[in-house]
Amino acid sequence: MCDLGGLDNLIANTAYLQARKSTDAGVGGSKRRRSLALPGPAKCMEIRQLLHLSFASECEEQPIGRRLFHSFCNSVAEYSRALAFLDQVVELELAEDNMQNALLCKIVADFLQPDSENSLSFLSDAMTSAASGASEVDMKELVPRAQQETRQFLMGKPFREYLESPFFQRFLQWKALEQQKITEKHFYEFRVLGKGGFGEVCAIQVKLTRKMHACKKLNKKSLKKKKGQKMALLEKEILESVNSSMVVRLAYAFETKEHLCLVMTLMNGGDLKFHIYNVGKRGLSMDRVLFYTAQITCGLHHLHRLSIIYRDMKPENVLLDERGNCRLSDLGLAVVLRNADDKITQRAGTNGYMSPEVIKEEPYSYDADWFALGCTIHEMISGNTPFRNFHEQVSKEELRRRVLQDKVVFTKTAFTAEAQDLCTQLLAKRACDRLGSRNPNDDPRQHGFFHSINFQRLEAGLVSPPFVPDPDVVYAKDLCDIDEFSEVKGVELDEQDLKFHKEFATGCVPLTWQEEIIESGLFDDVESVQHRASLPGNSERRSGVCLIL
């Protein structure tokens, strides 16, 4: 029986939906005031000592660093042109196929021709003379070389000057703020979204930025009792290392008295299992199957490049966000290989998605994920997994036999020839015959099924999802259908546990935190206040910054 009435659920949903909308409205749309204190010079000196300064990290990878390096470069015409050129190259990489040639010619004419107004004076003579009268084929080869020379240039004098400029001081202030201790006081908490093995997942909102996230709470005593501490730390470290728009990302890791908390990308559009079985007729339309499969494939590819085997590929673990893009979630079973080509034998995964080699406990690696992807595509198209029909009761032994022996049959007309071929190749019984694992360069993204997908644009978020979840629907079970956790008895936490909790609760994850600060408008607000303060006639110079925004 449900303890909570429908009213409780309604109130929880309304509060949650309203909080989501306040984030959508952005900083400008919200009336609540926020205060922000950026640390002063002493703290900045301390932070500077701790950083291993590199151009790639400080000026390219870290979002706030990139923005401040851009601002610095904009004050010197030559540096500003160099960045404009690099920005154009990125635009070229993401351009639609039919726009590519025109853009390529424009870039060469604007930046590489010695007589052009924006010509890059630091480029080698060999480069500029090759640019005059170059054919399109030559240009395709010249632009990446010019890109390299430009980067080399920026890494020299401009980078050294940047490190001595007030822009870098500002960067250090943000870095100092990034290292603040994170506690539950930084967040508002909303309804529970789901239940995991060690605790609930609930929606939360960062007070400072108003960004919504999902918070996976892991009960400290339960982790200890079920010997889950090592696994939890590994999941946290893996999430932290991932930087893909196709995999859930970690924003904060902190602890409360009872829980270790992982604050991750909020995926509020429901999971693929729900969409396959609970909306309209079973299965998904082919445009959705294509879109999700392309995104999942990018997500798996990203993990594999980091030597991570996901090991739990299935529709239930693929979550949609409010725009209809999907990400892989629940990296609780993922493992990192010490060497990229190592193999492991430990049986892990979900029955019905585990590959023959995992079932037989034979050595396996990334090939296991490609097999599970084959099962997932089959399920998205037909509403049945390849080895078990919907609602069919099958014993573990029979399921095992089917996976090991049965040829997959495609009974539904919904399978196009290309979809069928993709599934067949992914579901090959032997890993060495399986798409994705046949040789070191085997890439499922090159399969004909994906011929209409521009993967670079997809990864950059420039392809519109074919389905957008309803913004007024909460795609989560009603509160009364989510079981509560019972108290963990008979476990005492000791010194060793406290040490582990400290190792886990590392606070803000730099790249995600910096993105959040920029996205929320806080970064621009601070910059404009600082800019006003530095104008002639304004005596109010600031070193530390304490702002009410």
Q: Which residues are catalytic?
A: 312
Alpha-carbon distance 260 to 200, whole Å? 11
Q: Segment near ligand ATP (CB under 6 A), from 22-30, 144-152, 167-175, 192-200? A: 192-200
Residue 221 near residue 485 (C-beta atoms within 8 A)? no
**Residue 509 binds to ligand ATP (criterion: CB under 6 A):** no
Pick out residues in 198-237 that bind ligand ATP (CB under 6 A).
Answer: 198, 201, 214, 216
* Residues in the chain, total: 549
Helix and strand element counts for the chain (H, E): 23, 12
Q: Segment near ligand ATP (CB under 6 A), from 47-55, 102-110, 187-195, 427-435? A: 187-195
**Residue 303 binds to ligand ATP (criterion: CB under 6 A):** no
**Residue 383 binds to ligand ATP (criterion: CB under 6 A):** no
Residue 252 in 3-state DSSP? Answer: strand
Selection from 240, 239, 177, 242 nearest residue 209 by Cα: 177
Selection from 13, 5, 4 nearest residue 190 by Cα: 13
Residue 490 in 3-state DSSP? Answer: coil
Residue 101 near residue 131 (C-beta atoms within 8 A)? no
Q: Which listed residue (40, 197, 507, 521) binds ligand ATP by CB under 6 A?
A: 197
Nearer to ligand ATP, 197 or 544 (CB): 197
Alpha-carbon distance 63 to 516, whole Å? 9
Pick out residues in 316-345 that bind ligand ATP (CB under 6 A).
Answer: 319, 329-330, 332
**Residue 272 binds to ligand ATP (criterion: CB under 6 A):** no
Nearer to ligand ATP, 147 or 317 (CB): 317
Residue 248 near residue 296 (C-beta atoms within 8 A)? no
Nearer to ligand ATP, 293 or 329 (CB): 329
Alpha-carbon distance 529 to 541, whole Å? 11
**Residue 19 binds to ligand ATP (criterion: CB under 6 A):** no
Q: Which listed residue (40, 114, 196, 466) binds ligand ATP by CB under 6 A?
A: 196
Q: Output the smallest distance, CB 106 to ligand ATP, in A.
A: 41
Q: Output the smallest distance, CB 269 to ligand ATP, in A.
A: 9
**Residue 436 binds to ligand ATP (criterion: CB under 6 A):** no
Q: Output the smallest distance, CB 268 to ligand ATP, in A.
A: 6
Q: Segment near ligand ATP (CB under 6 A), from 128-136, 250-258, 265-273, 362-370? A: 265-273
Q: Segment near ligand ATP (CB under 6 A), from 261-269, 297-305, 355-363, 464-472? A: 261-269
Place of tokens 């005596």: 539
Nearer to ligand ATP, 120 or 318 (CB): 318
Nearer to ligand ATP, 212 or 458 (CB): 212
**Residue 173 binds to ligand ATP (criterion: CB under 6 A):** no
Q: Which listed residue (142, 264, 326, 517) binds ligand ATP by CB under 6 A?
A: 264
Alpha-carbon distance 99 to 394, whole Å? 53
Residue 82 near residue 153 (C-beta atoms within 8 A)? yes
Cα 361–365–368 angle (5° rounding)? 75
Strand partners, 499: none
One-letter amino acid at 121 equals S
**Residue 142 binds to ligand ATP (criterion: CB under 6 A):** no
Q: Which listed residue (128, 173, 265, 425) binds ligand ATP by CB under 6 A?
A: 265
Alpha-carbon distance 424 to 445, whole Å? 15
Alpha-carbon distance 483 to 195, whole Å? 8
Nearer to ligand ATP, 218 or 298 (CB): 218
Nearer to ligand ATP, 201 or 272 (CB): 201
Q: Output the smallest distance, CB 213 to ligand ATP, in A.
A: 8
What does each C-alpha distance from 302 to 16, 366, 455 come to in angstroms?
32, 11, 13
Nearer to ligand ATP, 175 or 249 (CB): 249
Q: Output the smallest distance, CB 196 to ligand ATP, in A.
A: 2
Selection from 361, 339, 340, 343 nearest residue 440 by Cα: 340
**Helix residue ranges, H only, 250-395:** 272-278, 286-305, 356-359, 367-382
The pairs formed by 105-108 with CB atoms below 8 angstroms and a separation of 24 or more are 105/136, 105/139, 107/143, 108/134, 108/139, 108/142, 108/143
Nearer to ligand ATP, 273 or 412 (CB): 273
Q: Which listed residue (19, 44, 59, 193) binds ligand ATP by CB under 6 A?
A: 193
Lookup: tokens for 128: 């500029």
φ and ψ at 101, to 5 degrees?
Answer: -65, -45
Q: Output the smallest distance, CB 197 to ligand ATP, in A.
A: 4
Judged by CB under 6 A, the number of residues near ligand ATP is 18
Pick out residues in 236-255 that bind ligand ATP (CB under 6 A).
Answer: 248
Q: Segment near ligand ATP (CB under 6 A), from 26-34, 204-212, 258-266, 292-300? A: 258-266
Nearer to ligand ATP, 112 or 319 (CB): 319
Pick out residues in 81-120 that bind ligand ATP (CB under 6 A).
Answer: none
φ and ψ at 259, to 5 degrees?
Answer: -125, 155
Give the binding site for ligand ATP (CB under 6 A): 193-198, 201, 214, 216, 248, 264-267, 319, 329-330, 332
